[in-house]
């Protein structure tokens, strides 16, 4: 095994009463790709700062291989007194680093390099910070929420860039797709300690659930043991009790173990206050258009949104997603065309700009509007402490100023404010920003159970796939097209990823892909070949066998002790499941391609 580039041993850190980190171990070798997972407030960002050498722990040691270079991407970059974004990026270069690489990355990330850091958006700040850490080509990259404020084309570019590099990587992110595509190992920071597996994020959630289930079983056994020992203590013969001082001591130790057990953090209790049902038709837009000067934002766009629809809007930053939403909900009039809202619409909105909150106000004041101790939830009063607990805030945080909240806590606060208002139409602008994975799961469930209509803007591909029923995408020159299904379905229909260069240059995406695009109706008529027919008949059996193989190997990996008992068996099972999943994906893609071709031939 390669020696570690960076190693943290027995790291401990306490803020206030409860230890944030307790005996944490983390080791990263050359080329390793580790995702660092944990709840909001679990200490992930702090641990990454310790790894970067920016925070000194209370105890433990940090080792970095001599000569190894580390670059750390913070959630909120500090531009200091740099006058331009390029100057900020070049300041991160070391002796002998190539200044051309800095300019190249600035350009690749959609910046000119002349931007004033004091007057740039959150997305531009994030892209400049990424260019700064990538330009030196370090041995170790420590990335804290690298996809925050980035649009989908930039996220996909960043994925490709990181996949092409040989450096070691430790990444914190709430973006499931990003983590699944990049990680090869998972470090789970839970209740102050790290548990680690040599599998990427795609295997994490099933493994986590098994670990927690095993933990519950162990606690149940402990409870039973304590009950038995207490029964002995209560009803045992007095003389025997005196002689068994050691057994009595063991009982006290069991009680201490139970008392000091830190159970898993509960999930947020998200529920939207629902108003009476809206009419069947929620929004109807006919040939609407909007332009700012010579720039067309929306051109000749029509859509009918009905009750229960979940509409996702995606696209590069600056494409006009928020403008389109404002047109649809009637807060901004179109230059041309008509917008009609249905009957009995009660709307609740979540704005991505959290700066509108007074940073000096307290958490309770933000929820109650500064009036009393109750929040109006669905038109009924609920005590602010109870409502705070629904969104995983502790009672002691009632007087916490908003400026002291983490990004995830501010995200939960904005959700709490938006969901308190009775609604049958939810309009959510980047609702997933800074939310941990467990809260994202609960938000998805809430939206799935919500009986009203949802319009949301998001750059989270996995969230879109799980939630929306259709996706609206900009195609350039103010043209927007609606595709049925989630983000992945949209890509399958559209045939190409979102293209930042096309939108930036103002060209329609169709012009960029004209040479590739072939519509089904234009496809030449032909018959399926013998090989294609044979594949259509045999692929379902192949797919079934691969599913069975994956289930067989997963059963082995579900044993939490397998790694410790038989490392070779664990590695073989991991390799086998990875190979089977790759073959399954290829088989399913091929079958779908042939099935679509067969239907096109039959309908021609």
- Annotated binding-site positions: 38-45, 315-322
Query: Which DSSP symbol is given to 402?
Result: G
- Helices 122-134 and 152-164 pack at an angle, to 10 degrees, of 10
Residues 353-375, buried b or exposed e (16+ Cβ, 10 A)? ebeebeeeebbbbbbbeeeeeeb
3-state SS track over 350-398: ECCCHHHCCCCCEHHHHHHCCCCCEEEECCEEEEHHHHHHHCCCCHHHH
Distance in angstroms (rounded) separating the CA atoms of residues 416 and 495: 38
Q: Is 185 helix (H, G, I), strand (E, B) or coil?
A: strand
End-to-end CA distance of the chain: 58
Contact in structure between 485 and 199 (CB atoms under 8 Å): no
Nearest 5°: CA angle at 362, between 359 and 368?
Answer: 115
**437 Cβ contact partners less than 8 Å away, ≥ 6 residues apart:** 37, 174, 176, 205
- Helices 530-557 and 567-603 pack at an angle, to 10 degrees, of 150
Neighbour tally for 333: CB within 10 Å? 10
User: In sequence order, what are the beta bridge partners of 123?
Assistant: none
Going by the annotation, the residues of the binding site for ATP are: 38-45, 315-322
**104 Cβ contact partners less than 8 Å away, ≥ 6 residues apart:** none
Residues 290-310, buried b or exposed e (16+ Cβ, 10 A)? beeeeebbbbebebebebbbb
Nearest 5°: CA angle at 458, between 452 and 462?
Answer: 95
């Amino acid at each position: 095994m390669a020696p570690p580039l960076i190693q943290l041993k027995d790291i401990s850190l306490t803020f206030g009463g409860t230890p944030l980190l307790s005996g944490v171990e983390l080791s990263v070798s050359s080329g390793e790709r580790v995702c660092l997972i944990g709840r909001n407030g679990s200490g992930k960002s702090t641990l990454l700062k310790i790894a970067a050498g920016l925070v000194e722990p209370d105890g433990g040691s940090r080792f970095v291989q001599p000569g190894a270079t580390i670059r750390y991407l913070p959630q909120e970059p500090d531009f200091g007194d740099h006058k331009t974004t390029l100057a900020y990026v070049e300041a991160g270069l070391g002796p002998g680093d190539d200044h051309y690489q800095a300019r190249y990355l600035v350009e690749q990330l959609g910046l000119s390099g002349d931007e004033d850091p004091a007057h740039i958006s959150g997305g531009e700040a994030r892209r400049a910070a990424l260019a700064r850490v990538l330009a030196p080509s370090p041995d170790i990259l420590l990335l804290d929420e690298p996809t925050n404020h980035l649009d989908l084309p930039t996220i996909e570019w960043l994925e490709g860039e990181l996949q092409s590099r040989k450096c070691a990587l430790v990444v914190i992110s709430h973006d499931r797709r990003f983590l699944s595509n990049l990680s090869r190992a998972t470090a789970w920071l839970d209740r102050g300690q790290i548990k680690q597996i040599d599998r990427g994020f795609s295997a994490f959630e099933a493994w986590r659930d098994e670990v927690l289930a095993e933990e519950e079983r162990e606690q149940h056994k402990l409870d039973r043991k304590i009950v038995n020992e207490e029964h002995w203590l209560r009803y045992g013969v007095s003389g025997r009790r005196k002689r068994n001082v050691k057994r009595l001591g063991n009982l006290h130790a069991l009680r201490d173990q139970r008392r000091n057990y830190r159970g898993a953090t509960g999930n947020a209790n998200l529920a939207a206050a629902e108003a009476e049902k809206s009419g069947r038709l929620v929004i109807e837009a006919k040939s609407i258009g909007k332009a700012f000067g010579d720039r067309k934002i929306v051109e000749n766009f029509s859509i009918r949104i009905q009750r229960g629809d979940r509409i996702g809007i995606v696209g590069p930053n600056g494409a006009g997603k928020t403008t389109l939403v404002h047109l649809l909900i009637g807060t901004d009039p179109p230059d041309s065309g008509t917008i009609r809202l249905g009957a009995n619409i009660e709307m609740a909105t979540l704005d991505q700009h959290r700066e509108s909150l007074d940073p000096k106000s307290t958490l309770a004041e933000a929820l109650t509007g500064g009036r009393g101790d109750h929040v109006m939830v669905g038109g009924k009063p609920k005590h602010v402490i109870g409502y705070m607990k629904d969104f995983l805030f502790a009672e002691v945080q009632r007087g916490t100023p908003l400026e002291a909240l983490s990004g995830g806590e501010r995200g939960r606060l904005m959700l709490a404010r938006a969901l308190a208002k009775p609604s049958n139409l939810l309009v959510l602008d980047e609702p997933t920003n800074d939310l941990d994975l467990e809260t994202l799961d609960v938000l998805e469930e809430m939206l799935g159970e919500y009986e009203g209509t949802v319009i949301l803007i998001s750059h989270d591909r996995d969230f879109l796939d799980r939630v929306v029923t259709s996706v609206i995408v900009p195609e350039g020159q103010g043209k927007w097209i609606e595709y049925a299904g989630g983000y992945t379905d949209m890509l399958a229909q559209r045939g190409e990823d979102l293209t930042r260069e096309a939108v930036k240059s103002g060209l329609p995406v169709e012009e960029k892909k004209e040479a590739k695009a072939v519509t089904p109706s234009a496809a030449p008529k032909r018959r399926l070949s013998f090989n294609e027919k044979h594949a259509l008949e045999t692929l379902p059996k192949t797919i079934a066998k691969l599913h069975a193989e994956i289930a067989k190997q997963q059963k082995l990996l579900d044993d939490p002790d397998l790694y410790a008992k038989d490392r070779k068996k664990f590695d073989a099972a991991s390799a086998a499941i990875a190979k089977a999943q790759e073959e399954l994906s290829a088989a399913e893609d091929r079958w779908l391609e042939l099935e679509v071709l067969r239907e096109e031939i039959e309908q021609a």
